[in-house]
Structure 1
Amino acid sequence: MSEPAAVSRHYAEPGFDLQRVFDAAVVMPSLLRPTIGAALRSVYAQAFSGTIQILIGIDDPAADRTVLQPALAERPPHCVVTVVDLGYSTSERRGGVHKDYSGGALRTILSYMANSRYLAYLDDDNWWHREHLASLRAAIRGADWAWSLRWFADAETGQPLCIDEWESVGPAAGVFAKRFGGWVDPNCLMINKGACEAVLAAWSLPLTVDQMTGDRQVFRALVNRFRPAATGRATTYYRMGFHDPNHEKRMTAIRARLAQNQPECAKDGQ
């Protein structure tokens, strides 16, 4: 009988002490889209003095695993990449048993696996400004969770268009204030796992009306039970999708904002 395939693998420097707690962890549920290389490189490039554990959970058993290899080969010494490959999806969307369509149970699983108190989240089609983690770690001191603002980026080119002033703008603000009490994109979050462990299961528990809304459950729990802090900086780049039901409304708002001559994207992250 053949040996079972390893479920997880660490990519680290020889002799690296994996038991040493990392200064930050990045949780990445992934379909192994071609954009994952750019997402990983944005983590590698962080102006962050500590160690970073990057946990990638593969949610598509049919995905091409070789997509990861070029970016793994570029991993800097202060980063460890932990790849979790179950060989199946945990999401109902792809035949699994967990209701959340955006990664199934992977955000919950990877959050618990992370050997760090400080968890940030990044989808494989988005990326960060180089000061994202450092600014979140600074903001979260004295708080339980922290959040940044984000840029809307073009779906095809990835060109940053304008800062999101309407959706992911924090507690009691924006277009989701009345329905959800506000909202923060998971790609903008940092959570102190020790303080907020009770919210981690909610990543896999979407609202009954929409199986893409586990993040709403997490946000609601964070707002109602834990202390927030904001960086006040737009350090996340969110690649918009044509099939998102909000896409046309977003584009209308973005065009209007650009017509007002927002500062150029060269000043992004400020």
Structure 2
Amino acid sequence: MLPIGGYFPDKLDPQAPAQVAVVTPSLMRASIRTALESVYAQDLQGRIQLVIGADLNPTDTEHVYAALADRPDHVSAVVLTLPYSTSQRHGGVHPAWDGGALRTILSFMANARHVAYLDDDNVWTTDHLSSLLAAVQGRHWAYSLRLLLDEDTGDELGVDRWDAVGPGKGRFKDQGGMVDPNCLLLDKVLCAPALWQWSDPGPKLKRLEADRRIAATLARFPHGEVGRATVRYRIRPTNILRQFLREGTEF
């Protein structure tokens, strides 16, 4: 059994909040290094806190700790590896199959009012955080778009114009719209009533669709948008968005 977690400080008082926290629910894949490097490369000059967690106790985290050792001086990190799963998929109590309550837990753990989300197989452009922070001013949350990549080769396929396109848009517009977590930045104090929904997709959605429930809830809050793709998002060969790209589907 691995330790429950670790703390990787920056040079400032750990009690002082960061300008932004980056929450990464992770399977501890090797690709997490590339994801973290895209955080290190952000043009944001303020303090960044990484909050990384695994819902299943991983067998190897050395590559994660090695990547964290390369972080810049303005980046700190907290790693949480629970000795059990919070998801019903693995015997836990929360309905969401893709991480149980982990994204909710990490969001509240974060020592920053503004929280962004990055999965361990995706990356951001260098201006992702700075552009979202500018867009969220005076609002509850903000979002950007995502550029779809081939899962295996990393080849660019095109900008998602169908799913993660914001409130009232795309093929989920009648359900409030959709924003991918990787594209989000939340004021977690103002959005706190919605954060628990990542742990429960609700009665009308499948066990892997909590993202759609929280997106529909966030659509009721004031929001800003960047209007361009600052997320590089890998998709499988079987993803239906590939068909939409080929056929030029519109909704």
Is TM > 0.5 for Structure 1 vs Structure 2? Answer: yes
TM-score (norm 1): 0.87
Equivalent residues in 2 for 1:244-255, closer than 5 Å: 247=239, 249-255=240-246
**Residue in 1 aligned with 2:231?**
236
Aligned mates of 1:101, 1:41 — CA distance in 2: 28
**Residues 32 and 63, structure 1, Cα contact 8 Å, conserved in 2:** no
**Residues 27 and 54, structure 1, Cα contact 8 Å, conserved in 2:** yes
* Aligned residue identity for 1:54: L
**Residues 56 and 82, structure 2, Cα contact 8 Å, conserved in 1:** no
- Determine helix, strand or coil for the equivalent of 2:189: helix
What's the CA shift string for 1:186-227, capped at 9, x where partnerless? 110010012111111111011333011111221121112x10
1:198 to 182, 193, 198: 193
Provide closer, same or farther for how the CA distance between residues 253 and 233 of structure 1 changes in structure 2, counting only shifts above 3 A. Answer: same
- Determine helix, strand or coil for the equivalent of 1:254: helix
Which runs of 5 or more residues in structure 1 are unaligned? 258-270
**Residue in 2 aligned with 1:211?**
207
1:83 to 65, 79, 82: 79
- The RMSD of aligned alpha carbons is 1.6
Query: 1:256 deviation in Å?
Result: 4.4
What's the CA shift string for 1:209-251, capped at 9, x where partnerless? 3011111221121112x101101120011110245xxx1x311
Equivalent residues in 2 for 1:57-206, closer than 5 Å: 57-178=53-174, 180-206=175-201
Aligned mates of 2:24, 2:198 — CA distance in 1: 13
**Residue in 2 aligned with 1:33?**
29
**Residues 104 and 198, structure 2, Cα contact 8 Å, conserved in 1:** yes
Aligned mates of 1:85, 1:79 — CA distance in 2: 20
Which runs of 5 or more residues in structure 2 are unaligned? none
TM-score (norm 2): 0.93
1:22 to 18, 27, 36: 18
Query: 1:160 deviation in Å?
Result: 2.3
What's the CA shift string for 1:118-151, capped at 9, x where partnerless? 0111111111111000000000001110000001
* Aligned residue identity for 2:51: L
**Residues 85 and 92, structure 2, Cα contact 8 Å, conserved in 1:** yes
**Residues 53 and 81, structure 2, Cα contact 8 Å, conserved in 1:** yes
- Determine helix, strand or coil for the equivalent of 1:41: helix
Identical columns (%): 45
Aligned mates of 2:96, 2:85 — CA distance in 1: 11
2:7 to 10, 17, 20: 10
Aligned mates of 1:79, 1:193 — CA distance in 2: 20
